[in-house]
Amino acid sequence: MVEAQFIDDPLIPRVDVQFSFNARADNGKMLVDAVKALPSRTWNPQDKVWSITGTGTKKHPNDVLECLGFFIDTELDDYWHPVAVPHGAGAYRVYPRFAGYEDVAADIGRGAAWSKAHQSFIVDATDLSDGKRLLVRGLITDVEDQIHDEAHHMLQHPFDDHDPDLIEDLAEVTSQGDQELLDEAAELFGHQREGFGGETHQLRPFQQASAYAVATTRKLVCHDMGAGKTCIALAAVDLMGTQRLLVVCPPIVATNWVAEINQWLSPVFAKTHPDQQPGQFKSAESGPWVRRVATGRKLPDLPEVGSLVVPSSLLQREDVRELIAEFDPDAMIFDEAHEYSTWESQRSIAARELARTLPVGRRFAVTGTPSDSHPGEMANPMAITGQLEARFGSYGNYMQRYTTVDHFGKHKPLKKNLPELAGILRELWVKKTKAELLPHLKGKAHDWRLFDVSTTEYRKAHVEVIDNIIEKVGGIDDTAKMSPGDMEEFADTFGMGVMSPMFRAAGRSKIEPALGVIETLMHQDDSSPLIIFAHHQDVINELHDTLLEETDYEIDVLDGATSADQRGTIVEDFQDGQIDVLIASIKAAGVGVTLTRSHRIVFVEHWWTPGINAQAMDRADRIGQEKLVEVTHMVAVGTFDEQVHNVLARKIDYVDTIDPDADMGESQTMESSINDIITGVIEAAVAKAKREVKKVKK
pLDDT of residue 672: 54
> For the packed helices 537-550 and 511-524, what is the interaxial angle rounded to 10 degrees?
50
Contact 380, 363 (CB under 8 A): no
635 DSSP β-pair partners: 450
Rg (CA), the chain: 30
Express each pLDDT in 97-135 by its tens digit. 999 999 999 999 999 889 988 999 999 999 999 999 999
Q: Cα–Cα distances in Å, from 696 out to 472, 480, 692?
A: 20, 13, 6
Q: For residue 617, count other CB atoms closer than 10 A to its CB.
A: 21
Asked, for residue 671, whether it belongs to a domain, the answer is no
> Are residue 361 and residue 216 in the same domain, yes or no?
yes
Domain shared by 512 and 532, yes or no: yes
Torsion of the alpha carbons at 92, 95, 96 and 102, rounded to the nearest 10: 60
Counted domains in the chain = 5
Looking at residue 666, its pLDDT comes to 43
- CA–CA gap between residue 334 and residue 340 (Å, rounded): 10
* Residues forming a β-bridge with 381: none
351 in Cβ contact with 150 (< 8 Å): no
Tens digit of each residue's pLDDT (9 = 90 or more) over 316-338: 999 999 999 999 999 999 998 98
Query: Is 387 contained in some domain?
Result: yes
pLDDT tens digits, 278-293? 988 777 678 899 999 9
State the pLDDT at residue 169. Answer: 95
Residue 525: count other Cβ atoms within 10 Å of its Cβ: 15
Residue 669's H or E segment, with its range, is: helix 668-697
What does the alpha-carbon distance between residue 108 and residue 119 come to, in Å, rounded to a whole number?
16
Is there a single domain that holds both residue 227 and residue 148? Answer: no
The pLDDT of residue 651 is: 59
- Which of these three, 405, 436, 467, is where a domain ends? 436
CATH number for 235: 3.40.50.10810
CA angle 312/644/502 to nearest 5° reads: 75
User: Which residues, 6 or more positions from 105, have their beta carbon under 8 angstroms from its beta carbon?
Assistant: 96, 112, 114, 121
The reply to whether 484 and 575 lie within a common domain is: no
Q: In this structure, is residue 292 part of a structural domain? A: yes
Is the pLDDT at 158 greater than 80? The verdict is: no
Which pLDDT belongs to residue 208?
A: 96
pLDDT band for 162, please (50, 70, 90 cuts): confident
Residue 677 has what pLDDT?
A: 78
pLDDT at 274: 94
Tens of pLDDT along 654-670?
Answer: 444 333 333 444 444 44
365 and 418 belong to one structural domain: yes
User: Domain containing 629: what range?
Assistant: 444-451+508-665
22-31, 43-52, 227-236, 315-324: range with lowest mean pLDDT: 22-31
| Single-letter residue type at 156 | Q
pLDDT of res. 352: 94
User: Do both 517 and 593 map to the same domain?
Assistant: yes
Question: At 362, phi and psi to the nearest 5?
Answer: -115, 20
In Å, what is the CA distance from 147 to each residue of 78, 153, 352? Answer: 21, 10, 16
Name residue 634's beta-bridge partners. 449
Over the chain, what is the mean pLDDT?
A: 88
Query: 64 and 100: one domain?
Result: no
Q: What is the CATH number of the domain that holds 588?
A: 3.40.50.300
Contact 490, 473 (CB under 8 A): yes
Give the start-end residues of each E strand in 71-203: 83-88, 91-95, 113-115, 120-124, 140-141
For the segment 404-431, what is each residue's pLDDT rounded down to a tens digit?
988 777 888 898 999 999 999 999 999 9
The percent of residues above 90 in pLDDT, for the chain, comes to 61
Alpha helices for 404-475 (secondary structure H): 418-425, 434-437, 456-473
Phi-psi region of 281 (alpha: psi -120 to 50; beta: other; left: phi over 0): left
Assess whether pLDDT exceeds 90 at residue 181: yes
- Helix, strand and coil content of the chain, in percent to the nearest 5, comes to 45, 15, 35
Residue 672 in any domain: the answer is no
Pair 593, 533: CB distance under 8 Å = no
pLDDT of residue 225: 75
* One domain, residues 107 and 205: no
Is position 676 within any domain? no
User: Does residue 670 form part of some domain?
Assistant: no
For residue 326, give the 3-state DSSP assignment.
helix
More confident residue, 411 or 676: 411
Distance of CA 514 to the CA centre of its chain: 13
552 to 22, 224, 519, 527, 541: CA distances (angstroms) = 52, 22, 11, 15, 17
**How do residues 379-401 score in pLDDT, each as one tens digit?**
999 999 999 999 999 999 999 99
- Yes or no: say if 230 and 366 are a contact pair by the CB < 8 Å rule: yes
Question: How far apart, in whole angstroms, are the C-alpha atoms of residue 460 and residue 477?
Answer: 23
User: Is residue 13's pLDDT more than 90?
Assistant: yes
pTM of the model: 0.75
| Contacts with 392 (C-beta within 8 Å, 6 or more apart), sequence order | 382, 398, 401
Is 186 buried (19+), middle (13-18) or exposed (0-12) by CB count in 10 A? Answer: middle
Neighbours of 590 (CB within 10 A): 20
User: Residue 183, class by beta-carbon neighbours within 10 Å (0-12 exposed, 13-18 middle, 19+ buried)?
Assistant: exposed
pLDDT at 58 over 80: yes
In-domain check, residue 217: yes
Lowest mean pLDDT among 455-459, 525-529, 622-626: 622-626
What average pLDDT does range 475-480 have in this prediction?
91
Same domain, 182 and 280: yes
Whether 72 maps to a domain, the answer reads yes
What is the per-residue burial (b if ≥16 Cβ within 10 Å, else e) of 75-103?
ebeebbbbbbebbeebbbbbbbbbbbbeb
Residue 42: its H or E element = strand 40-44
Based on the fold, state whether residues 410 and 530 are members of the same structural domain: no
Residue 511 CA to residue 539 CA, distance in Å, equals: 8
Q: Are 236 and 364 in contact (CB under 8 A)?
A: yes
Residue 22 shares a structural domain with residue 169: no
Judging by beta carbons within 10 Å of its beta carbon (0-12, 13-18, 19+), is residue 167 exposed, middle or buried?
Answer: buried
Q: What is the pLDDT of residue 698?
A: 66
Query: For residue 441, is pLDDT > 70?
Result: no
- Of 48-62, 164-178, 314-328, the one with minimum mean pLDDT is 164-178
Query: Minimum mean pLDDT among 72-76, 496-500, 631-635: which range?
Result: 496-500
Q: Which of 45, 79, 113 is the C-terminal boundary of a domain?
A: 79
Q: What are φ and ψ of residue 39, in 5° steps?
A: -60, -40
3-state per-residue secondary structure call for 345-411: CHHHHHHHHHHCCCCCCCEEEECCCCCCCCCHHHHHHHHHHCHHHHHHCCHHHHHHHHEEECCCCCE
Residues 6+ apart with CB under 8 A from 231: 197, 201, 203, 207, 260, 264
Distance CA 474, CA 209 (A): 63
Average the pLDDT over 26-48 and give the result. 89
Statement to judge: residues 513 and 493 lie in one domain = no
Q: Please report, for residues 171, 203, 216, 628, the alpha-carbon distance to residue 440 in angstroms, rounded to integers and kept in the order given.
A: 19, 17, 28, 8
Of the residues 79, 94, 120, the one at which a domain ends: 79
What number is the average pLDDT over the span 132-153? 95
Question: What are the residues whose beta carbons fall under 8 Å from the beta carbon of 102, sequence distance 6 or more?
Answer: 39, 40, 54, 56
